[in-house]
Amino acid sequence: MENLTLKLILTPLLVGTASLAGRRWGPAVSGWLVALPLTSGPIVFFLSLSHGVRFAAVVAVATLVGAISQAAFCLIYSWLALRWRWPRALIASCLAFVAATTLFQYLLLPLLLQFLLVVLILVLTLHFMPHAAAPLTARLSTPPLWDLPTRIVVTTLFVLLLTGSAPALGAHLTGLLAPFPLYGAILAVFTQHQDGPMPAIRVLRGLLFGLFSFAGFFLVLAVLLGQVPIAWAFGAASAVALTSQAGTLWALGWRTRAPSIVHRLSSRLHIT
């Protein structure tokens, strides 16, 4: 009962905060923020309480490599959003996530190699993302009243479903499914529907930048679970994630400002 209460309180609080931050600071920041383990972190936490730290540690390792599946989702959705409306783009990107998840069910690597592979894939994915330059804090249109409640309900149901089915799925598959970019998908779909493909791409680019801290979180968690108390493990992982997130926010801000800076410098050089 306590776990259920935590899920019903913590999950809506996290997704509500992320959604409101996106409205305040723009789509790129919104995507960057939801890259934090707002769904998968609570899933591993609840599983550590209900199924033990060993089970949760296996989930954490699989969740780390699942960041690659998130990257596949972001890349496919971004390119297809330029041509298709959100339903077709969402279905195709979900299939990309499933394909990557299926692959990693059979590809087992040492933890450090998994982490390095995730970092490499994230760098490559950012390189191949479609360009969608805009100010970091570009504002979107005012969303309808049902927008935020819908995001909260869908996300909470996902957490309840995955934690409830974890024993049947097993720790490894649960971990691979936990990083499904539920927040990112909701933000991208709502943003594309309301404001067009470019703001949606900025959401997903921000998410990719934030996934570096996601990877750091689960690397630390996978190492510490079972070695130190649960609260210490999650505290250390959260500290690493938040520190990394600060660095990626700077990088995200620089990349979104760089094209306009280069354009201004070129114009001045041309004038002189």
What is the tens place of the pLDDT at every residue in 196-252?
888 888 888 888 888 898 899 999 999 998 888 988 999 999 888 888 877 766 666
Identify the pLDDT of residue 271.
39
**Residues across the chain:** 272
Answer yes or no: is pLDDT of 141 > 60: no
In this structure, are residues 152 and 190 in contact, taking their beta carbons and an 8 Å threshold?
no
Q: What are phi and psi of 136, to 5 degrees?
A: -55, -35
Going by C-alpha positions, the residue among 195, 213, 175, 239 that lies closest to residue 32 is 213
Average pLDDT over residues 23-50: 74
CA-CA distances (angstroms) from residue 100 to 94, 103, 162, 222, 226?
Answer: 10, 5, 18, 21, 28
Identify the pLDDT of residue 220.
93
What is residue 267's DSSP assignment?
H
Place of tokens 């998840």: 101
Q: What are phi and psi of 176, to 5 degrees?
A: -70, -30
Identify the pLDDT of residue 268.
44
| Burial annotation 137-159 (CB, 10 A radius, 16+ → b, else e) | ebebeebeeebbeebbeebbebb
For the entire predicted model, the pTM comes to 0.77
